[in-house]
Amino acid sequence: MKKILIIDDSPDSVFLLQDRLEREGFETAKAYNGEMGIQKAVNEKPDLILLDVMMPDISGFDVCKTLSSKEETKLIPIILLTALTEADNLQQGLQAGAFDYIKKPFNRTELIARINSALRFSETNKFLIEIEKIKTFAATVVTTNHEIKQPLTLINLSTAAIRREITKENYSSENILKRIEFIENATREIISVLDKLGSIKKPVITSYVNDLNIIDLKSDEKKDLPD
């Protein structure tokens, strides 16, 4: 069941909306001012927010800006409920991060249609985000395999060489130290690759081979280069 948070300073409006939404099978939560609305949105993670524009403590526009900028709530679609009809006012609401707006007074059919449209968009958006996460994960696996395969192979060969050397009656300390140096260099290389992967904030994914993608580990380095 989808949960809708109603933020409106008018108890009558909240009651009316709550009654209509619950009749349509939605779960509802309510807040009577902007501050309470922000807190409930963060705590309850509703699927959609109906937000009145004209409120005494914090305007709906400011509430919308706050929710759109918070990591926990930025993906929740917000529909503004407004009696304002000026184009500039409506544009201000959309620029604040609102998905849509409904002019007061509104009818039940329009209200439910706008809500369902916003929910469908939200579900599609969440699906696309999950697809991107899967692609990024797959590219990370391919990148890790590509970047650390050679140093891991070198470590494996070096340990095998050390094992052979120490079985000799007169083994060479110099040969063993050389192999240990190979292992240390390979280990540093692996740590460097993992550090780069861990520090990337926005992965740049490029084509690799056989329809596989790889993360460009040099993309962040390019950003730091002087113009």
Which one, of 110, 117, 50, 106, lies nearest residue 79 by Cα? Answer: 50
Identify whether residues 203 and 150 lie together within a single domain: yes
pLDDT of residue 216: 75
Continuous H helices in the chain: 11-23, 34-44, 60-69, 87-95, 108-166, 173-199, 219-224
Residue where the block lists tokens 């909306």? 17
Residue 42 counted as domain residue: yes
Identify whether residues 36 and 81 lie together within a single domain: yes
pLDDT tens-digit series, residues 40-72: 999 999 999 999 988 888 889 999 999 999 989
pLDDT of residue 227: 42
Contact yes or no for 97/130 (Cβ under 8 A): no
Looking at 46, 71, 106, the residue that finishes a domain is 106
pLDDT of residue 63: 94
Identify whether residues 101 and 146 lie together within a single domain: no
**How many domains is the chain built from?**
2
Residue 163 counted as domain residue: yes
Selection from 81-95, 111-125, 128-142, 199-213 with the highest mean pLDDT: 111-125
Q: How far is CA 180 from CA 29, 129, 155, 156, 157, in A?
A: 64, 44, 9, 11, 11
Residue 11 counted as domain residue: yes
Identify whether residues 99 and 140 lie together within a single domain: no
Residue 142 counted as domain residue: yes
Residue 126 counted as domain residue: no
- What's the CATH code of the domain at 69? 3.40.50.2300
pLDDT tens-digit series, residues 153-195: 999 999 999 999 898 888 888 999 999 999 999 999 898 888 8
Rounded to whole angstroms, how far apart are CA atoms 189 and 179? 15
pLDDT tier, 219 (very low <50, low <70, confident <90, very high otherwise): low
Selection from 40-54, 108-122, 140-154 with the highest mean pLDDT: 40-54
Q: Tell me the residue range of the domain where 200 lies.
A: 132-224
> pTM higher than 0.75, yes or no?
no
Averaged pLDDT, 15-26: 93
Residues β-bridged to residue 207: 213
Contacts of 166 (CB under 8 A, 6+ apart): 176
Residue 73 counted as domain residue: yes
Rounded to whole angstroms, how far apart are CA atoms 149 and 9? 61
Contact yes or no for 144/193 (Cβ under 8 A): yes
Identify whether residues 12 and 98 lie together within a single domain: yes
Instruction: Say how many residues make up the chain.
Output: 227
Which one, of 33, 39, 51, lies nearest residue 100 by Cα? Answer: 51
Burial class (CB in 10 A: 0-12, 13-18, 19+), 210: exposed
Rounded to whole angstroms, how far apart are CA atoms 146 and 139? 10
Looking at 67, 90, 106, the residue that finishes a domain is 106
Q: What percent of the chain has pLDDT over 70?
A: 91
Residue 192 CB neighbour total at 10 angstroms: 14
pLDDT of residue 145: 80
Query: Which range has the worst mean pLDDT, 28-37, 174-183, 199-208?
Result: 199-208
What tokens does 149 get? 């395969």
Identify whether residues 157 and 214 lie together within a single domain: yes
Identify whether residues 102 and 136 lie together within a single domain: no
Identify whether residues 18 and 81 lie together within a single domain: yes
Q: Are strands 3-7 and 48-52 parallel, antiparallel or unpaired?
A: parallel
